[in-house]
Structure 1
Amino acid sequence: MKVLFFSAQSYDREYFTRANQAAPLELRFLEAPLNVDNTALIKDEQVICVFVNDHVTAEIISILKEKNVKLIALRSAGFNNVDLAAAATAGIKVVRVPAYSPHAVAEHALTLLTALNRKIYKSYNRVRDNNFTLSGLEGIDLFGKTVGIIGTGNIGTVFCKIMLGIGCKVIAHDVYINEELVLAGVAYKSLDEVLSESDIVSLHCPLMPATKHLINKNSIVSMKKGVILINTSRGGLIDTVAVIDALKNGHIGALGIDVYEQEEHLFFQNFSDTIVQDDVLSRLTTFPNVLITAHQGFFTKEALMQISNITLNNIRSYVDDGILLNEVK
């Protein structure tokens, strides 16, 4: 079976080629993201493999059906970038990687939090300039602070355990209560309670209509003044303009994000020699208390290997046995 990858980076080629050695599929990699124009690059592949910034719209799905594509394999956990209703109507199946390394993303959330709190990025630059002063670098003890975690799926669960291990009071909100976390000491509360009681808020929920702009002008008002906000889930969970206003007036004390609502136009690309035209992101980068990484939370050796193995196993299972592992409906 032939598989065409869109938005393929060098590491995709490396890890998928390695994972493909056991039971080879015919893989072809394209650096370009999937869009209407480059669907013309699909030859006789019946499977396409896409990433988070490939928007598989109804128009594209109609073209995929004409080209006899049978399966859309997401090499990600999120699936909000695929028009599932259109795929179902076209008879094209969709599979994903529901979990790869929740530790990778949860640990990255911790990295953003600690780097922001202790101003590591500032001190790094100071020392490189032979400036060994400490003024302005003070942080807080995380021990004893209240951490609010919104979404306790695989990644949120790991993050809860990490913060409990540090000695934080952990409260959480999710539509499903994880009894294991309750026994470990996590208190489940309403969304309003989590936002209003937390010194630190970390987002780990999926993006869907009910969670879009979960952090907005109104919800920010209910949060503690000086709150630290972390988002390693999906950019659309945050109304970025509202967050900028809250950074300007000091209501949000620090912001760490690995995702951005308009990231598909920027992330995974090199614009170092050009002018970035996104004024909102450019404004964010001017704040001394904002730390942005470009969707690298998943980027560990272990996670990349798991993503590759699970994605190819999803495809092989469908091709060989007609069984849809990790189907998204």
Structure 2
Amino acid sequence: MKILMYSTHEHERTYAEEWAKETGNQVTMEMVPLTKETVAMAKGYDGVSVQQTSRIDEEVYRALHELGIKQISTRTAGVDMFELQAAAQNGITITNVAIYSPTWRFIHHGRSPKWGSLTPCTCSETLDASTSGWTTTTTSAGRVI
């Protein structure tokens, strides 16, 4: 799987590189945010990951859809930068960070996300919200929005 990380911070690089190596996924890290000017960078990728507070314009979702992107994973707990209806209309799933921890980046699908009881998981499978509601993302365990 090829993932493009927008708005990458220096402290995230080691974790993303380690995860990519462990899972065999390709991760490209860029420092720029996802905007209508930078959305074309996602061409050829399977998904994108963001960490930004600026709003993502509706035309970005259309462009991502045209590029075949089906998921945006935010490396934040908040989702107020997203136009959730525009994302849904373009077939894009938004996932966010449900908990913060630099140590536990993944949870196993069958476990409930309780602090201190997380089990690392290296699978890259995304779960449907109708099953357990939890999904693995590029850097964290998150909830499907």
In the superposition, the TM-score normalised over structure 2's length comes to 0.73
User: In the alignment, what sits opposite 2:4?
Assistant: 4
Which structure is higher in RCO with an 8 Å CA cutoff and minimum separation 6? 2
Contact map agreement 2:7 2:52 (CA 8 A) in 1: no
Larger radius of gyration: 1
C-alpha spacing 1:58/1:93, structure 2 compared with 1 (3 Å): same
Q: Number of matched residues?
A: 120
Contact map agreement 2:5 2:29 (CA 8 A) in 1: yes
Deviation at residue 92 of structure 1 after TM alignment: 0.7
What is the CA deviation profile of residues 184-222 of structure 1, one whole-angstrom value per residue up to 9, with x for unaligned ones?
xxxxxxxxxxxxxxxxxxxxxxxxxxxxxxxxxxxxxxx
Contact map agreement 1:6 1:31 (CA 8 A) in 2: yes
Contact map agreement 2:22 2:122 (CA 8 A) in 1: no
C-alpha spacing 1:66/1:73, structure 2 compared with 1 (3 Å): same
What is the CA RMSD across the aligned residues, in angstroms?
2.3
C-alpha distance in structure 2 between counterparts of 1:48 and 1:5, whole Å: 6
Identity of aligned residues (%): 22
User: In the alignment, what sits opposite 2:50?
Assistant: 50
Contact map agreement 1:95 1:314 (CA 8 A) in 2: no
Structure 1 residue runs of 5 or longer lacking an equivalent are 101-302
C-alpha spacing 1:34/1:93, structure 2 compared with 1 (3 Å): same
C-alpha spacing 1:29/1:54, structure 2 compared with 1 (3 Å): farther
1:304 to 98, 102, 107: 102
C-alpha distance in structure 2 between counterparts of 1:4 and 1:19, whole Å: 14
Deviation at residue 98 of structure 1 after TM alignment: 1.0
Q: Runs ≥4 in structure 1, deviation > 4 angstroms?
A: none
Structure with higher helix content: 1
Letter in 1 for 2:125: S
Contact map agreement 1:34 1:50 (CA 8 A) in 2: yes
Deviation at residue 314 of structure 1 after TM alignment: 10
User: In the alignment, what sits opposite 1:74?
Assistant: 74
Letter in 2 for 1:69: I
Structure 2 residue runs of 5 or longer lacking an equivalent are 108-120, 130-134, 136-142
Letter in 2 for 1:70: K
In the superposition, the TM-score normalised over structure 1's length comes to 0.34
Structure with higher strand content: 2
Letter in 1 for 2:59: E
